Amino acid sequence: MSPNAHITSHRKPRRTATQSWVVRTGVAGGVLSTLAVAGAGSATAAEKPVESTVEMPTVNAALATSIAQSAAATQQTAFDYQDRAQQDEASSKVAAAAKKAADEAERKAEAERKAAAAKEKREQEEADRASRATERKSLSTKSAAQTSEDAATAASSSSKGATGSSATLVSFLEAQLGKAYVMGSTGPSSYDCSGLVMAAYNQIGISLPRVSQDQSTAGTAVSLSNLQVGDILYWGPAGSAYHVAVYVGGGKFIGAQNPSTGIVERDMSYSQPTGAVRVL
């Protein structure tokens, strides 16, 4: 035999640390398994291992509970959605009804405003018509009164023999009756004697001298027995007269007499004048 021939060794192979750990673990597991089987076998030899008879029902019950809970949650969620939808629908209906009521109230208020405005306009128009009617009636009354007054004045002047410009002259003089006598005044609120005569003739477009002396010679001398309405009467010598007045017919004259009596109408017999001149 060759010295290099391989000789089979009877020594067992050397195990590594890892292999030893696996073996020990396997042995321990086997022992534990054996003990568990033995314990279970004492209760009943026909039952399956503990792992199968205990774990599977527990897993199935938990799964069923979870499924039931999930189904209940899903159903509750569906109920919640349905309830929310019903609430939203009810809210929409309430909002729509409220808007409709508000629109109707607004239309009613607008109609009432228009009716009130139309009524106010009618009342205002009626008031305006009534006012215009009253104004026309008032103007008509005033016009009638003025016409009557003018007719009375004309009648008065006519009764005194005044016509045309002489009637205007007399009307002016009559309107001054009662005003004050003020030396040197020519109107319109007060006059002296020559100022009144001058103002009266200005009404008919005739300009006279300012003072009584000059007025006593301003026209044609006439007899006191042949007087006409509008003739100028004077007291004192012609050209040196100290007082003047105007003959208004019916044996009367109007003049600014003195500060105590003012402008008055008097009969010729009250104070006989010295003479008269005719300007018209």
CB of 258 closer than 8 Å to CB of 181 = yes
pLDDT > 90: percent of the chain: 41
Domains contained in the chain, number: 1
Is pLDDT at 27 greater than 50 in this prediction?
no
- Residue 272 sits in a domain of what CATH number? 3.90.1720.10
Which domain, by its residues, includes 233?
162-278
Using a 10 angstrom Cβ sphere, with 0-12 exposed, 13-18 middle and 19 or more buried, the burial of residue 68 is exposed
Q: Is residue 31 domain-resident?
A: no
Residue 144 pLDDT: 55
CB of 262 closer than 8 Å to CB of 181 = yes
Q: What is the pLDDT of residues 96-148, one digit of tens each?
A: 888 888 888 888 888 888 888 888 888 888 888 887 777 777 666 655 555 45
Q: Is residue 148 domain-resident?
A: no
Helices (H), the chain: 17-43, 50-159, 165-175, 193-202, 212-215
Is pLDDT at 85 greater than 70 in this prediction?
yes
Higher pLDDT among residues 27 and 219, named by residue: 219
Q: Is residue 253 domain-resident?
A: yes
Question: In angstroms, rounded to a whole number, what is the distance separating the alpha carbons of residues 238 and 232?
Answer: 12
Question: In angstroms, rounded to a whole number, what is the distance separating the alpha carbons of residues 280 and 277?
Answer: 10
Q: Is residue 260 domain-resident?
A: yes
Q: Is residue 55 domain-resident?
A: no
pLDDT > 70: percent of the chain: 70
Is pLDDT at 188 greater than 70 in this prediction?
yes
Half-sphere CA count of 47, side-chain side, radius 13 A = 15
Q: Is residue 168 domain-resident?
A: yes
Q: What is the pLDDT of residues 153-172, one digit of tens each?
A: 444 544 455 557 999 999 99
**Residue showing tokens 């999930």:** 70
Q: pTM of the predicted model, to two decimals?
A: 0.45
Q: Is residue 212 domain-resident?
A: yes
Q: Is residue 257 domain-resident?
A: yes
Mean pLDDT of the chain: 78
